Amino acid sequence: MSKDVTDVTDLYEEFGDERLPPGQRETSAFPVLSKGPTPDWDPETWTFTVTGAVEDELTFSWDEFQQLPSETHRQDFHCVTGWSKFDCTFTGVPFSELARRAGVIDDIDERRSSGNPTPSGQAVHVMFSALDGYTTDLPLEACLREGVLFAWGHDGDSLPADHGGPLRVVTPHRYAYKGAKWVDGVEFLTAPERGYWERRGYSQTADPWQEERYS
């Protein structure tokens, strides 16, 4: 594992003047927020699928997923209920890595040169699914931003189960409900759909600096 840490805590500069989004308070704790109990999982049978509007559908075992290229990022975490935690350290696979392998974006050099790659196919949105039945939807462009990781590590350790272990999504430029804990698949969509909280009145776009909490 590389020791280099990519610092994305300055991404707020693109969205607002303050690192702490409006209406948020900073906490040094890392609260747990789940709609229900922490689901069980079995490393022998766990599979991760990439489906939908892709060139190549993909399936990974837990062993295979851990072999994918990973990065470690320092990033901020904003919960829609009003707390923010600065400087979280997450390690995992960039969303763009899977999008490239599925043929949704052309090649990784584009990401290196321009920061955010441009999708080439029909996919415009992405639905994440999780072991507890949770779902959440994001525009593909939002998923392709630097900082969106399938994270299996936190602070140099494996991701704790209550924080989404073995694998969760982190979305530093969106409220944290856009990051599915216990994620086990992504479906590329040709039109937006609503996930668990989006169907219950939470914002589709969820930009913390615009305080897009509800729809």
Ligand X SMILES: Nc1nc2c(c(=O)[nH]1)N[C@H]1C(S)=C(S)[C@@H](COP(=O)(O)O)O[C@H]1N2
35 touching ligand X, by CB under 6 A: yes
94's tokens: 């960039």
34 touching ligand X, by CB under 6 A: yes
The site for ligand X, by CB under 6 A, has a size of 17
- The answer, yes or no, to whether the previous bond of 39 is cis (omega within 30 of 0) is no
Residue 180 interacts with, from ligand X, Mo ion, none (CB under 5-8 Å by kind): ligand X
Q: Which of 182, 186, 187, 188 binds ligand X (CB under 6 A)?
A: 182
- Residue type present at position 190: T
Name the minimum Å distance from CB 36 to ligand X.
7
170 touching ligand X, by CB under 6 A: no
Q: Residue 185 forms beta bridges with which residues?
A: 49, 129
79 touching Mo ion, by CB under 5 A: yes
| Closest to 163 measured CA to CA, from 145, 143, 180 | 180
Q: Which is nearer to ligand X, 79 or 124 (CB)?
A: 79
* 5 membership: H or E segment, kind and range: strand 5-7
Is residue 62 exposed (0-12), middle (13-18) or buried (19+ Cβ within 10 Å)? Answer: middle
Give the residues lining the site for ligand X (CB under 6 A): 31-35, 79, 130, 132, 134, 163-164, 176-177, 179-182
